[in-house]
Amino acid sequence: MTAKPLVTVFGSLHYDIMVDSPDRPRKGETLAGSAWFPKCGGKGGNQAVAAAKVGVAAAMIGAVGDDDFGRALLANLDRRGVDRSHVRIVRSAGSGMSVAIFDADGDYGAVIVSGANLSLGGADVGAAADLLARTGVLVLQNEVPDAANAAIAGAARAAGAHVLLNAAPARALTAELQGNVDILVVNAVEAADVSGRPVDTPSDALVVAAELAQRFLHVVVTLGGDGLVYAGAEEAPFTLPAIPVKLVSTHGAGDEFIGVLAACLASGRPMRAALQAANAAAAKLVATPESER
């Protein structure tokens, strides 16, 4: 029997505390929220789960603390069908966590505490050599140290994997990391940060994506309600419109997009078809209540 295509995610695991509020508080303001609930997340964890949902094999390389949050994060990966044999338990730091506050329109703001995620480094890369040799697409984000991302990107490339970087949250990218990234996915704010140019309209995004495609083989700029733009080696730059849905919550939409995109690419689908599938998955997620995800 042929093995399933493998997506490996190297990155963050956070235990999220979600708060429903009429608005996000201003500086010095206290608001009365209506509900709160826990959720297992982190960009890395979310992306691995999203890839597993569409039928590929998904593996996670990460770190959690030796605490209740960490145990919940590991149990969630097991429950969602993600191989977590390369998730390390750290006894010198707590698990990563976040607090996300949702307003009445479904938008949110969040604060993360990285904890054990910051311990990822060269030892994790070396321990995952066998896994990387079987990986079709390696997914990275910016919630772990840049040096760790650069090390595993180089190792994955050497092993024959494609490397997808979701450059979020926005931060400067080292030349070493950039040189080992095949697919760059950013939103408008991150595209502006990476390129040094403003991205205020879809036209701006097309220009910036084309410029970034001189540094990366494939560039995707996601624009929320304005859809996305693509530029790269496979075909001429193009746009995809957003899929109209009734917005319930934007939380996790970007991670759903990344996980499905990686899964489709690992399965051999062409870029346009992979982007269409990822776009549809993100639209479905934002129209789904958190309790039903």
* pLDDT attached to residue 176: 95
- Exposed, middle or buried by CB within 10 Å (0-12, 13-18, 19+), for 30? exposed
Cis peptide preceding 169, ω within 30 of 0: yes
Q: How far is CA 124 from CA 162, 235, 252, 259, 269, in A?
A: 19, 36, 26, 21, 30
Q: Are 95 and 63 in contact (CB under 8 A)?
A: no
Kindly give the pairing relationship between strand 238-240 and strand 57-65: unpaired
- From first to last of the 293 residues of the chain, give the pLDDT tens digit: 457 899 999 999 999 999 999 999 999 999 999 999 999 999 999 999 999 999 999 999 999 999 999 999 999 999 999 999 999 999 999 999 999 998 988 788 888 999 999 999 999 999 999 999 999 999 999 999 999 999 999 999 999 999 999 999 989 999 999 999 999 999 999 999 999 999 999 999 999 999 999 999 999 999 998 999 999 976 789 999 999 999 888 888 999 999 999 999 999 999 999 999 999 999 999 999 877 77
Question: Order of strands, edge to edge, in the sheet holding 108-113?
Answer: 35-41, 14-20, 96-102, 108-113
Instruction: Name residue 240's beta-bridge partners.
Output: 228
Beta strands in the chain (DSSP E): 6-10, 14-20, 35-41, 57-65, 83-90, 96-102, 108-113, 137-141, 162-166, 183-187, 218-222, 228-232, 238-240
| Pair 252, 241: CB distance under 8 Å | no
According to DSSP, residue 178 is labeled: H
Q: Enumerate the domain spans of the chain.
A: 10-24+36-181+243-292
Type of residue at 30: T
How many angstroms separate the CA atoms of 259 and 257, rounded? 6
Please say whether the beta carbons of 101 and 110 come within 8 A: yes
The helix/strand/coil state of 137 is strand
Q: Which tokens hold the place of 271?
A: 């870029």
Name the token pair of 123.
Answer: 């030892």
pLDDT value at residue 1: 44
Q: Catalytic residue numbers?
A: 255
Angle in degrees, CA 151, 53, 137, rounded to 5: 25
> SS3 of 256, please?
helix
- The hierarchical CATH code for the domain 10-24+36-181+243-292 is 3.40.1190.20
Question: What distance in Å separates the CA atoms of residue 257 and residue 243, rounded to the nearest whole number?
Answer: 13
Tell me phi and psi for residue 287, to 5 degrees: -95, 5
